[in-house]
Amino acid sequence: MSIRLGLSHIGSRPRTAGAHAISWQILAVAVVVGFIAAIAFQAAANLRARGIASGFDFLDRTAGFEIARGPIDFSSRDTYARALFVGSINTFRVSLLGIALATALGVVLGVARLSSVWVIAAIAKGYLEVMRNTPLLLQLLFWYSLWQTLPAPPDALTPLPGVFLCFRGLFVPSPIWQTDYPWISIERPALAGFGFQGGASVSPEFAALLAGLTMYTAALIGEIVRGGILAVDKDLVGDEEGDCVGLQPDSRHRPGLRMRVPVRQSRDHRLGIDAHPISRLIHVVHGPVLENCGEDAVERRCRDGPRLPYGWSGS
């Protein structure tokens, strides 16, 4: 009877506390929503009083500005909606390319930072320190200004046949689809007037943004890679050390598996009771009885040590 009463008394408290917590959360959400609604209604009234239009009607208006050349054509006569769409596509492009390039460069820099060759480690350290401590906006302005120092289209640089580099951008050949055989042909850029026509191009703005994001983020990734490598305990990867600590052959070269498991110095473990909800409940109800009768369990626990999973060892 006493155990049953104890269980009902223990189980009623969490339900009551949970109900109070949910009530306070609902009240807090209602207050926040009401505050935001009041601000929105007041702002709408002020806009109407001053004759300022609101909403999304502007998306159908003419943009009146140009966007650098990309995979989707855009002119100043297009709408704001198309401008937002083109901008989203450009953001997606630079994000994918930046993630791939920054990850590859960051891994190389992180490994080079730990190189035993002093020259390589010094160069990597200098790069990481300079790039990490220089504001990203300043780097973007630097790369764009550097691009503007390139020659004009008539005097464009040709690093490869059919590739032209000038202050208007990078122009490269691109494949185009045809309706007849061979269905695919190569379109090469050609000088026409004050620029190049045909092929694929990379605008100076896109190139500066990609270069700045890649080199800045690569420095951050390089430090993460270096810290991750240094965080691995060297004593856990050798064969002899693995034999000493009792690691299995298939797990000794996975350093993350062998962890120093902290033994919880709770009353449950001192009494040899597993940390399980039922065991804790029994301990709460019959704690004094177990304390008086648990001396043998304590001695056996101290003598045998904590039980760890197979292939692990405590330290």
Which residues fall within 8 angstroms of residue 106, CB to CB, at 6 or more apart? Answer: 217, 218, 219, 220, 221, 222, 224, 225
Mean pLDDT of 135-150: 93
Residue 132, pLDDT > 50, answer: yes
Would you put residue 113 in left (φ > 0), alpha (ψ -120 to 50) or beta?
A: alpha
Task: Report which of residues 307 and 40 the model is more confident about.
Answer: 40
Residue 123, pLDDT > 60, answer: yes
Residue 105, pLDDT > 60, answer: yes
**What sign has the CA pseudo-torsion 273, 278, 284, 286?**
negative
Q: Is 169 helix (H, G, I), strand (E, B) or coil?
A: strand
> Which residues, listed in sequence order, are joined to residue 201 by a DSSP beta bridge?
171
- pLDDT, one tens digit per residue, over 159-217 is 888 889 998 888 888 888 777 777 788 888 888 877 888 788 888 888 999 999 999 99
Q: Mean pLDDT for the chain?
A: 75
In the prediction, which pLDDT does 245 show? Answer: 53
In the prediction, which pLDDT does 255 show? Answer: 46
Distance separating alpha carbons of residues 221 and 131, to the nearest angstrom: 11
Mean pLDDT of 12-22: 71
In the prediction, which pLDDT does 258 show? Answer: 40
Task: Report which of residues 308 and 150 the model is more confident about.
Answer: 150
Q: Output phi, psi for 172, to 5 deg.
A: -135, 160
Which residues fall within 8 angstroms of residue 231, CB to CB, at 6 or more apart? Answer: none
Residue 246, pLDDT > 90, answer: no
Residue 251, pLDDT > 60, answer: no
**Which residue in 274, 289, 272, 273 sits closest to 3, CA to CA?**
289
In the prediction, which pLDDT does 203 show? Answer: 86
Sorted by where each starts, the structural domains of the chain and their CATH numbers stand as 80-176+184-231 (1.10.3720.10), 262-304 (no CATH)
Q: How confident is the model at residue 273 (pLDDT cuts 50, 70, 90)?
A: very low
Supply angle C-alpha 49, 54, 55, rounded to 5: 150
Task: Report which of residues 237 and 194 the model is more confident about.
Answer: 194
Whole-structure pTM value: 0.59
